[in-house]
């Protein structure tokens, strides 16, 4: 069952909103309603959010995204349509029942922190639990645990004024985590932060969501932020949802001209990932097989290299045709690992921008692995360059990728599963914001 389900939601402000809904359903426009003193904030919105998903609602000012999240939070009743939190239909509940759902199922992280200046950091983190009637000992323990999750261990006794903006927003995040709800609603939660701290908070949200499997409905006007953190994205304009899809679907298959224009300036090199451009090799070789089998596969595929996999589907190395041919001529039984080629392994979620430097240091194709280290696919250099050519704003990285690879030091390549990690894109924050933590085809 989806964590959140919206079916044909409308929100009309003004007298007789039902009349506005009827006119919109008959083809009326927002402007026509405005002339009658009605404001159509959300129009026929339908979507679902799966448990454990980060679902981003993206739109410019006035698109209706903030109204939509207030409807999900039970703060604004729908003018028409249905809205479910799990199996509870908010549109049919009494005010007391709506408050019960909000208290037990939903927590909120606000744009401007919403901290009580006269309370300590720990008391702010525990506030939701206090409202819910949790005893002091238990709420202090849960608040301390939540503060540690967001990197604020030891700050519980300080007042919010002693913290930087990024730290204060982490208190707001800790308050939502301490509440223990399944669903977190985040309304422009990072937009008031400096770019460096904002990226740190995005990283922290992604990490926490992966560990805790919270369902997150995230509101933003920043498309790059939406593309970076969202499992799926809903694009809103003038109260309507124009498209719902993954970052790849929205970038590569925009639903209409509005979405296409909106995404035209996105830096695709930082949105597209290894998993979106990788491909499956024609053949792979088992690590227990010998040079003759490798030679046969290379001849059949007309490829110059061959990926070798261990029994558990983790990569063992890459074989090259010249080395295999020499091993066959010399009657060798062992696979001929070359000392001239190392095997570059990259994670499936590495961005395109992170792949260029790694590719520039190697002749071998990039070997993509999943979170468990199992083989997922390959990215030959020609594939990487093609993807880079289709992306925007990557000219300097493309130049790096086409440069002559740096020769490996003596002995590189043995053992064959040695890897060069991609460059670490992480930056450090200020002291007052807690340190965060030649191939052919």
Please calculate the CA angle 286-291-295 and round it to the nearest 5 degrees. Answer: 95
- From the number of C-beta atoms within 10 Å of its C-beta (0-12, 13-18, 19+), residue 252 rates as middle
The answer to whether the CB of 80 falls within 8 A of the CB of 18 is yes
Which pLDDT tens digits describe the chain residue by residue (441 residues)?
899 999 999 999 998 899 999 999 999 999 999 999 999 999 999 999 999 999 999 988 889 999 999 999 999 999 999 999 999 999 999 999 998 898 889 988 887 777 888 999 999 899 888 888 888 889 889 999 989 888 888 898 889 889 888 888 889 888 888 888 889 999 888 887 787 788 888 888 888 888 888 999 999 988 888 888 899 999 999 999 999 999 888 988 899 999 988 888 777 777 778 888 899 999 999 998 999 999 999 999 888 999 999 999 999 999 999 999 999 999 998 999 876 667 899 998 888 888 888 888 888 899 999 988 999 999 998 888 887 776 544 434 433 443 434 343 333 333 343 333 333 333 333 323 323 333 333
All structural domains of the chain: 52-80+93-270 (3.40.50.300), 275-402 (3.10.580.10)
> Could you give the CA distance from residue 15 to residue 18 in angstroms, rounded to a whole number?
9
pLDDT tens string 80-112: 999 999 999 999 999 999 988 988 899 888 877
**Residue 366, φ and ψ in degrees, nearest 5:** -75, 135
pTM over 0.95: no
Q: Are 123 and 139 in contact (CB under 8 A)?
A: no
Q: What is the pLDDT of residues 208-237, one digit of tens each?
A: 888 888 999 999 988 888 888 899 999 999
Residue 306 tokens read as 């061959």
Distance between CA atoms of residues 303 and 297, nearest Å: 9
pLDDT in tens, 394-403: 434 433 443 4
DSSP characters for 304-350? SEEEEE-TTS-EEEEEEHHHHHHHHHTT--S----SS----EEETT-
């Amino acid at each position: 069952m989806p964590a959140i389900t919206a079916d044909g939601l409308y929100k009309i402000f003004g007298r007789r909103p039902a009349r506005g809904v009827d006119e919109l359903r008959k083809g009326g426009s927002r402007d026509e309603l405005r002339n009658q003193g009605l404001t159509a904030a959300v129009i026929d919105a339908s979507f679902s959010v799966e448990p454990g998903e980060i679902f981003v609602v993206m739109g410019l000012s006035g698109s209706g995204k903030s109204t939509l999240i207030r409807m999900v939070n039970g703060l604004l009743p729908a003018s028409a349509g249905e809205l479910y939190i799990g199996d509870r239909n908010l549109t049919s509940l009494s005010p007391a029942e709506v408050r019960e759902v909000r208290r037990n199922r939903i927590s909120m992280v606000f744009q401007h922190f919403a901290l009580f200046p006269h309370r300590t950091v720990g008391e702010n983190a525990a506030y939701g639990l206090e409202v819910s009637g949790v005893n002091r000992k238990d709420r202090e323990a849960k608040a301390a645990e939540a503060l540690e999750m967001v990197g604020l261990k030891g700050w519980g006794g300080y007042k919010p004024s002693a913290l930087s903006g990024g730290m204060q927003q982490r208190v707001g995040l800790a308050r939502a985590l301490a509440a223990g709800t399944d669903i977190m609603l985040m309304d422009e939660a990072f937009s008031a932060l400096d770019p460096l701290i904002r990226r740190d908070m995005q990283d922290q949200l992604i990490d926490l969501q992966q560990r805790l499997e919270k369902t997150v409905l995230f509101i933003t006007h920043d498309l790059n932020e939406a593309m970076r953190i969202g499992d799926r994205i809903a694009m809103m304009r003038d109260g309507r949802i124009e498209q719902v899809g993954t970052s790849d679907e929205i970038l590569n298959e925009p639903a209409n001209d509005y979405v296409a224009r909106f995404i035209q300036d996105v830096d695709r090199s930082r949105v597209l990932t290894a998993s979106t451009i990788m491909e499956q090799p024609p053949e792979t070789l088992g690590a227990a097989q010998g040079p003759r089998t490798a030679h046969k596969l290379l001849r059949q595929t007309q490829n110059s290299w061959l990926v070798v996999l261990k029994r558990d589907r983790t990569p063992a190395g890459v074989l090259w045709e010249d080395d295999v041919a020499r091993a066959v001529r010399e009657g060798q039984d062992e696979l001929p690992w070359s000392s001239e080629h190392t095997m570059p392994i990259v994670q499936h979620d590495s961005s395109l921008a992170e792949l260029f430097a790694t590719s520039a240091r190697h002749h071998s194709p990039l070997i993509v692995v999943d979170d468990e280290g199992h083989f997922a696919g390959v990215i030959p250099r020609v594939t990487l360059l093609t993807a880079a050519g289709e992306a925007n704003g990557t000219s300097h990285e493309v130049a790096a990728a086409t440069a002559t690879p740096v020769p490996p030091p003596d002995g590189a390549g043995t053992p064959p599963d040695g890897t060069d990690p991609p460059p670490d894109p992480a930056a450090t924050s200020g002291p007052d914001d807690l340190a965060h933590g030649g191939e052919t085809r």
